[in-house]
Amino acid sequence: MTATTDISKAGAARTIISVDAMGGDEGPATVVAGISRAAQKNSNIGFILHGPKAELDNLVAKRKNLTGICEVRDAKDVVLMEDKPAQVMRHGKSTSMWSALESVRNGEATVCVSCGNTGALMGLSVMRLRKLDGVYRPAIAVLWPSRNPQGFNVMLDGGADIRADAKDLMQYALMGISYARNGFGLARPRVGLLNVGTEEHKGRAELKEAYDLISANAKKADFEFVGFVEGRDLPGDRCDVIVTDGFTGNVALKTGEGIANLIGDLLRQAFRYTIWSRMASLLAFTSMRRLKERIDPRRVNGGVFLGLNGTVVKSHGAADAMGVSAAVGLAFQLGQSGFSEKLAARVASAAMLSDVEENEGDSE
Amino acid sequence: MTATTDISKAGAARTIISVDAMGGDEGPATVVAGISRAAQKNSNIGFILHGPKAELDNLVAKRKNLTGICEVRDAKDVVLMEDKPAQVMRHGKSTSMWSALESVRNGEATVCVSCGNTGALMGLSVMRLRKLDGVYRPAIAVLWPSRNPQGFNVMLDGGADIRADAKDLMQYALMGISYARNGFGLARPRVGLLNVGTEEHKGRAELKEAYDLISANAKKADFEFVGFVEGRDLPGDRCDVIVTDGFTGNVALKTGEGIANLIGDLLRQAFRYTIWSRMASLLAFTSMRRLKERIDPRRVNGGVFLGLNGTVVKSHGAADAMGVSAAVGLAFQLGQSGFSEKLAARVASAAMLSDVEENEGDSE
């Protein structure tokens, strides 16, 4: 079931995205510019926007294409980047972040988007939306530019929890498959388990256990398990879904960003170096822009919290209007496809399967 | 003390590098081309080359600049990439890899270079050279292209051991400092501990413990501890030495390689895309070559095994002559600076310091 609050009054059923307008580095004007941009690209989208009402009403009024499809919900306080998650969870009831999650909790919206403090957003999301039945650790799914036809791979966990045991990793695989089906449109996603080598005997003990668990679920849950993969497969084409714990995933993610930024800066320097290279940069302008768009972190913007009753998209704190638009576009795609419900069904059926197995294994 | 076997008979004391000619993907001709290239760049270098004598004598004879500075040591067998380390350790006595390590073990050479099977090389190195007194886990130090003036950062462990406790991480810091002093010429290297965030309360328990240990040693061992760093600091300028366990380090390393290769391929595609971009690629040729050299994995070639009685440089299996030359050049630099001896002294003095502390802490 998709939440379809009829904000527009014009009649058409819209997929409603709940947006936290505050807490990003660029302020609410950028968020409003971002959702306006997303509305140009996606018809049947609607918004509930959370933050100081007067300020937001003003910003929304300036964007003609938001008329009738964007409701403003007043929230006077803001979660700051330096706020401790525990503090926000105790005293954050009047914040725009809390309010934004509330719209998903009460079914008015299907997906929540925020550029704010990741730790606080994760903490609040778990507290207010609660974990799906059978999920022990929720995860952040992040996108990698890749050599696959869909242009991206999905990796989880990108940093929700620094620990993950074998059963968690198996659930990440199931959640990742739902994401790849609904986000990439792949019928039978290929899953890899991140390790230091592709040989079966390598790596930590919990990885070998996870290997067996994922392997056992592959037949039932209709996905392909390619086995262990390595860091170089994150942007590669050996699989579509890469599963790892949140410590390793977060280090890999930030390493990839660091290398991409270093190369980008060196490339700009190289184009400035001689008169010839400056001419070259003019000639190659369009091709280079295409390249930049392909690997631009803003296009890959939007870590997605999975394993909760509802989906939450975390946009980059420094996201500009294009970044916010990308995150909202992703939220819309996931909302429209009924992603949350499909994921819940998948996890529930896997939990049932493993219960059956455990009972079968009993000696009674 | 630097081993100075007088291979040349011409008189000058040479720093002797022991080179495993076999086991790389490109075969011994590439290795010989590589050491010839290294000999052009470094005077006072000498080689002991290990492999099938007739074949190697033939290859060496074709390189005039190797006359009198390259001794061939016969070894009839080769460690293959698919060989299991345990097998090689039991039955590998007649291999070129074993023979190459033997020259370091008996003091004829200061550093050993091999393009062969990493696991086997690590296993044999530990078995034949033995760990330094006070070192529990040896580590592989790898280089990252970085924003620092020296152009590189050193990270360890790059994958020698998937585990590392707090004391191991502290030793990695000390070994990394020796490397940065002798390899980069830095008087007071800055050390960072890899984590998922820079706040002190974040991350795994052993990382907090390692934080305190490294912090306590910084004063005595005269280095700067910048605290926790993130994946993006691997190619950054916040520190010169990054410490992590071999699992995380190996994933980060291969992720960085994967992203760099993806961007390189997309860049080549972009330059081929239109007639304008093809012209641009001609104009920007020199600038692009400069960029490529800066981040070329072949130039950063050479993981270094630290924590043993002697230094072993692992070159990439697919290294071409330029890659071999880079690895040999690094080996020469480390050999000439008396790196092994300085590192041993540093680890020994730290071990003494912590013994003293432990005794001071006793309640007797």
ipTM for this prediction:
0.83
* Of residues B232, B244, B284, nearest to A276 (C-beta): B284
**Of B147, B254, B284, Cβ closest to residue A270:** B284
Strand residues in A52-169 grouped as ranges (E): 70-74, 111-114, 139-145, 152-156
CA distance A60 to A57: 5
Contact: A230, B276; criterion CB under 8 Å: no
Q: Minimal Cα–Cα distance from B340 to chain A, Å?
A: 28
Q: Which residues in B lie closer than 8 A to residue A86 (C-beta atoms)? A: none
**Distance from chain centroid for Cα B264:** 24
Do the Cβ atoms of A262 and B159 come within 8 Å?
no
Q: From B151, which residue of chain A is nearest by alpha-carbon distance?
A: A262
Q: How far apart are CA B174 and CA B170, in angstroms?
A: 7
Which residue of B lies nearest to A255 if distances are taken between CA atoms?
B231
Locate the chain B residue with the closest alpha carbon to A293.
B266
User: Scanning the structure block, which residue is given the tokens 């008087």?
Assistant: B187
- Nearest C-alpha in B relative to A286: B277
Q: What pLDDT, on a 0 to 100 scale, did the predictor assign at position B47?
A: 97
Q: One-letter amino acid identity for A326?
A: A
Residue numbers in A near B279 (CB within 8 A):
280, 283
Could B270 and A261 be called an inter-chain contact, meaning their C-beta atoms sit closer than 8 Å? Answer: no
Residues in A touching B290 (Cβ below 8 Å) = 270, 273
* Enclosing H/E stretch for B15: strand B15-20
If you write DSSP's letter for every residue of A78-106 in order, what string do you get?
Answer: ---TTS-HHHHHHH-TTBHHHHHHHHHHT
- Nearest Cα of chain B lies from the Cα of A284 at a distance, in angstroms, of 4
Residues, chain A, total? 364
A247 vs B196, B236, B291: nearest CB:
B196
Are residues A196 and B236, on separate chains, in Cβ contact within 8 Å?
A: no
| Angle at which helices B205-221 and B339-361 cross, to 10° | 110
Helix axis angle for B321-336 and B28-41, nearest 10°, is 50
- Distance in Å, alpha carbon of B359 to nearest chain A alpha carbon: 35
- In this complex, which of B147, B196, B287 lies closest to A162 when CB atoms are compared? B196
Residues of chain B with pLDDT under 50: 1-6, 8-11, 355-364
**Cα gap B70→B47, rounded to integer Å:** 5
DSSP B44-88: TEEEEEEE-HHHHHHHHHT-GGGTTTEEEEE--B---TTS-HHHH
Cβ pair B291:A270 closer than 8 A: yes
Contacts of A271 in chain B (CB under 8 A): 284, 287
Q: For testing the chain B interface, which of A82, A157, A232 should be mutated: the one with the most B CBs within 10 Å?
A: A232
Which of B248, B255, B267 is closest, CB to CB, to A232?
Answer: B255
Min Cα distance A61 → chain B (Å) is: 39
pLDDT 10s digit of each residue in chain A, 364 long? 444 444 544 445 889 999 999 988 889 999 999 999 999 998 899 999 999 999 999 999 999 999 999 999 999 999 998 899 999 999 999 999 999 999 999 999 999 999 998 889 999 999 999 999 888 899 999 999 899 998 889 999 998 888 999 999 999 999 999 999 988 889 999 999 999 977 766 778 889 999 999 999 888 888 999 999 999 999 999 999 999 999 999 999 999 988 888 888 887 877 777 777 777 777 777 777 777 777 665 556 668 999 999 999 999 888 889 889 989 998 998 888 888 778 887 777 766 555 444 444 433 3
Q: Which two tokens stand for residue A75?
A: 């929230």
Report the residue from B194, B276, B287 with minimal CB separation from A283: B276
Of B248, B258, B282, the CB nearest to A236: B258
- Chain B residue closest in CA terms to A267: B291
Nearest CA in chain A to B234: A255
The distance of A50 to chain B (nearest Cα, Å) reads 28
Closest Cβ–Cβ partner in A147, A232, A284 for B270 = A284
Q: Do residue B276 and residue A287 have CB atoms under 8 angstroms apart?
A: yes
Report CB contact under 8 Å: A258, B286: no
In Å, how far is B354's CA from the nearest CA of chain A? 30
Give contacts of B118 with chain A, Cβ < 8 Å. none
Answer left, alpha or beta for residue A77, where phi above 0 means left and psi between -120 and 50 means alpha. beta
Residues in chain B, how many?
364
Considering only CB atoms, which chain A residues are within 8 Å of B252? 231, 251-252, 255
Of B247, B266, B294, the CB nearest to A294: B266
Q: Closest by alpha carbon to A169, among A188, A148, A186, A191?
A: A191
Q: DSSP for A303-345?
A: EEEESBSSEEEE--TT--HHHHHHHHHHHHHHHHTTHHHHHHH
Chain A contact set for B157 (CB, 8 A): none
B44 Cβ neighbours under 8 A, 6+ residues apart = B12, B13, B14, B15, B336
Minimal CA separation from A64 to chain B, in Å: 37
Residue B203 is predicted with a pLDDT of: 74
pLDDT given at position B7: 57
Q: How many CB pairs under 8 A join A and B?
A: 188
Phi-psi region of A196 (alpha: psi -120 to 50; beta: other; left: phi over 0): alpha
A326 and A313 in contact (C-beta within 8 Å)?
A: no
What is the reported pLDDT for A8? Answer: 44
What are the structural domains, with CATH classification, of chain A?
Answer: 1-135+307-364 (3.40.50.10950), 139-250+291-300 (3.40.718.10)
- In A, minimum Cα distance to B295 occurs at A263
